[in-house]
Structure formats: structure tokens, C-alpha cells
Amino acid sequence: MHVKVVSPHELTELHRTEWRRLQRLDPVLESPYLCPEFVSIASQIRPGIIVAIAEENDRPVAFLPMQMRGDVAGPVCCPLSDCQAVIAADEWMGDIRDLIRAAGVSAYDFNHQRMQRPFDTYHRAVFPSPVIDLSEGFDAYVTAMRDRNVHLPNNSSGRPHQTMKKAQRIARTAGPVRFTLHETDKTALYEMIRWKRQQYHESGEVLRLIDIFKYNWTVELLERVHETQSADFAGVLSTLHVGDELVAAHMGMRSHNVLHWWFPAYDKNHAKVSPGLILLLELTRIAANIGIREIELGPGDESYKELVANSQIMLASGFVGLAPVPLWLRYLIYRTETLANRLPIGETRTWPGRFIRRMDRMRWLRA
């Protein structure tokens, strides 16, 4: 096996064709994060983005996109990436360290890695990420969600069939409810960002959520994704209006049959009518009609995801290292978080791990 490292703009048409072919062979690889278009967009605004390509008999058999930061590497557009993987056939059993070594880095960190055999040895944690599976169609999804037995409070009112009724009531009392799958005008994008920044600033006094949009590159990334429209990859800026008023917006992206739920936000003045859930319901309805097989909701413990998800995909975090010092530092960090989580001190036991991850996100945002 021969490995070469290129920048995304050096990918040939053969590379892109094989990359897309490998994606379509394996449903695990169909996330828009793993599309060559996303990697190319990211490389236009972020430094150090490369692709390690494993070749056999002069043909590419595996692609690993990465972002360099000094002598370490991480996911493309970290910390905004909810999905990482090596783009290869399921039976490919190459040594992932060969790709890391060719890139000239001492360690590669991943935080939302797909479950793939070349990475199995390097997992430090495995966790589920919720998914809306639309393979049976929208009506079948709503029926199954209505009928399933889940342990939810009696007053839970965010399941799809309940949200449909709520949208109908709002239409009768407040004006027509209008959903747009993709809004070409960026005005709604900037309003979503304003709402999201407000949410970040109001997220608490201890370890408040990072305002990622104060870093200009994050806004530019969303702008460029929004502008990109093709059969294999597209930005999706969805909006919900009640009457003439914008009440919710979501910026996501899709591959040919998987949509990723990325940045949702809504006007707090309309929180009582659940505009975010109505937008997600309408997005789900239209997505099913245009051939989207799954909506990946991304990792996180937000309560609404339990109300709408009917499947999940397993992800892993960990690291691949070549040099002893970076490896030992990562083992020490992992061990510290593990020991803290075992302490009988309530919610505060999670603070060391949250603080470590926060500092890492800040380093990537500032890179």
C-alpha cells in the first residue's frame, strides 16, 4: 500500500469519483460531512486541511480527510464536525497509522468517528447519536413514533403526531404556517445565527456554551455551504413562518440521501408554540418526499431528540498516536476524566471532562 497526501484542490476527477463510489457502497459513509464537496469548501477558509490517500495498484482505496494544527491533526472544521471516518470499503483493513504517518503528524484526535474496524483499537469512548430513519416513508415514521412504548413523562408533547396537531392549531389561531425547505436569501441565515448566539450567551454561568459564531470563519463556512447546491451535496437553509413572521430557522446540509440536522434556532418570543419542533417535523415530511433516507440529529442529550428519533448510529472518540509524548498526554487526560466521573460528587464530576473538551474546542476555533 502506498500513501500520498494532497490538499483538497489537488484531488483529481478519479479521486472524487472513487470517493463518491465508496460513499454509496456503505450507508455509514453517506453523511454530508464525509462528502468531498464539504472538505473542499472547508479548505477554502480553514488552514491545514489535507487528505491522506491510500493506493493499491495505482488506484485509490481509502481517503482520510484531516485538519492539521501544528504536529497534531483532527477532524475537518473541528469543532463543528459531527462525523468522521476513513472513506473506504467496509472490508478495507489497512493500518490507519500509515495514513497518519504519511501526513507527518504525531497524533490524530477524533470525537465523532464512525464505527470502522481500522479505528477499533483506538476507541476511548463509544456513544449513540440519534437518527430519524425515513426509509419506510413519512407516514410510517409518524405512525411508528405514535405507537412505540417509550418511557417519557405523561406531559411530553413533542412526538411527531402531537406536533402535527399543534401546527394545525397555530394555523387556525395565529395565521398560516409556511415551511420552506431551502431559502436562498441569506437573511434567514443571519437571523438564525443571531438567535443561536443569544442561546449561547444565556446557557449558564458555569462552563457556558462557547459562542462559536464570534469566530468569523464559522459564519463563512455556513455561507459557503448554503451557496453550494448539487445532486451529491447541498446546503439546506430551512425556515418556518407563522403568517409573515419568521419564527424558526435551521442551517444544515445533505448528501444525496442523508440530511444532517446542524444549527437550529427559533425566536424565543414564540417558544410556547414549539416552532423548532414544527420546523423539524415539516423538514422531515419534505425530506422523505425527496428521497432523504435519514436525518442525523447529531450527538447530544437534548430532550427533543428522544421525542423524534426512531434509530441511532454509534460513534466513537479517541486518538491514534505515533509519538510517545503526545500519546502519554492523551492517556493522562482520558484517565483524569474517567476517574473524575467515578467520584460521588453529583453533576460536578463531569466538570473536568467538560473543561478539557472546552479548551480543546477553543484551540481549534482559534487555529
For residue range 20-41, list pLDDT tens digits in order: 999 999 999 999 999 999 999 9
Q: Give the mean pLDDT of 110-117.
A: 96
Residue 338: per-residue pLDDT: 75
How many other CB atoms are there within 10 angstroms of residue 97's CB atom? 15
Residue 252: per-residue pLDDT: 98
d(CA 323, CA 113): 21
Least confident of 258-267, 287-296, 299-308, 326-335: 326-335
User: ∠ CA 74-76-77 to the nearest 5 degrees?
Assistant: 105
Residue 207: per-residue pLDDT: 67
Higher pLDDT, 223 or 350: 223
Q: Is the dihedral of CA 288, 290, 291, 293 positive or negative?
A: negative
pLDDT band for 292, please (50, 70, 90 cuts): very high
2-128+314-366: what CATH class? alpha beta
Higher pLDDT, 140 or 208: 140
299: helix, strand or coil: coil
For residue range 256-279, list pLDDT tens digits in order: 999 999 999 999 999 999 999 999
d(CA 77, CA 200): 19
Catalogue the E-assigned strands of the chain.
Answer: 2-6, 49-56, 59-69, 72-74, 87-88, 107-114, 123-133, 177-180, 234-242, 245-254, 258-266, 294-296, 311-321
- Give the residue ranges of DSSP H helices in 109-235: 138-147, 160-173, 187-201, 216-227
Residue 45: per-residue pLDDT: 96
Residue 208: per-residue pLDDT: 79
Yes or no: domain 130-313 corresponds to CATH 3.40.630.30? yes
How many other CB atoms are there within 10 angstroms of residue 158's CB atom? 19
User: ∠ CA 323-329-331 to the nearest 5 degrees?
Assistant: 100
Alpha carbon separation from 153 to 142, 150, 203, 210 (Å, rounded): 19, 9, 24, 30
Q: Backbone phi, then psi, for 23, in 5-degree steps?
A: -60, -45
Least confident of 156-160, 173-177, 217-221, 283-287: 156-160
pLDDT band for 324, please (50, 70, 90 cuts): confident
Q: Give the mean pLDDT of 282-304.
A: 95
pLDDT band for 343, please (50, 70, 90 cuts): confident
Residue 152: per-residue pLDDT: 58
Q: Note if the bond before 47 is cis, omega within 30 degrees.
A: no
Q: Give the mean pLDDT of 206-213.
A: 84
**CATH 3.40.630.30 domain position(s) in the chain:** 130-313
Residue 251, strand partner residues = 237, 263
Question: Is residue 285 pLDDT above 90, yes or no?
Answer: yes
Question: Is residue 113 pLDDT above 60, yes or no?
Answer: yes
- What pTM did the predictor assign? 0.92
Which residues have a Cβ under 8 Å from the Cβ of 281 and sit 6 or more positions away? Answer: 160, 163, 164, 167, 308
Question: Is residue 10 pLDDT above 90, yes or no?
Answer: yes
Q: Give the mean pLDDT of 310-325.
A: 91
Residue 339: per-residue pLDDT: 73
Chain centroid offset of residue 186 CA: 21
How many other CB atoms are there within 10 angstroms of residue 311's CB atom? 14
Question: Is residue 14 pLDDT above 80, yes or no?
Answer: yes
Residue 17's identity, in one-letter code, is T
How many other CB atoms are there within 10 angstroms of residue 163's CB atom? 24
Q: Backbone phi, then psi, for 248, in 5-degree steps?
A: -160, 150
pLDDT band for 360, please (50, 70, 90 cuts): confident
Residue 19: per-residue pLDDT: 98
Question: Is residue 351 pLDDT above 80, yes or no?
Answer: no
For residue range 90-103, list pLDDT tens digits in order: 999 999 999 999 99
For residue range 41-74, list pLDDT tens digits in order: 999 999 999 999 999 998 999 999 999 999 999 9
Residue 175: per-residue pLDDT: 86
Which residues have a Cβ under 8 Å from the Cβ of 103 and sit 6 or more positions away? Answer: 5, 50, 52, 66, 68, 73
Q: Is the dihedral of CA 154, 157, 162, 165 positive or negative?
A: positive
Residue 184's identity, in one-letter code, is T
Q: Give the mean pLDDT of 111-117.
A: 96
For residue range 146-180, list pLDDT tens digits in order: 988 665 555 567 889 999 999 999 998 888 999 99
Question: Is residue 331 pLDDT above 90, yes or no?
Answer: no
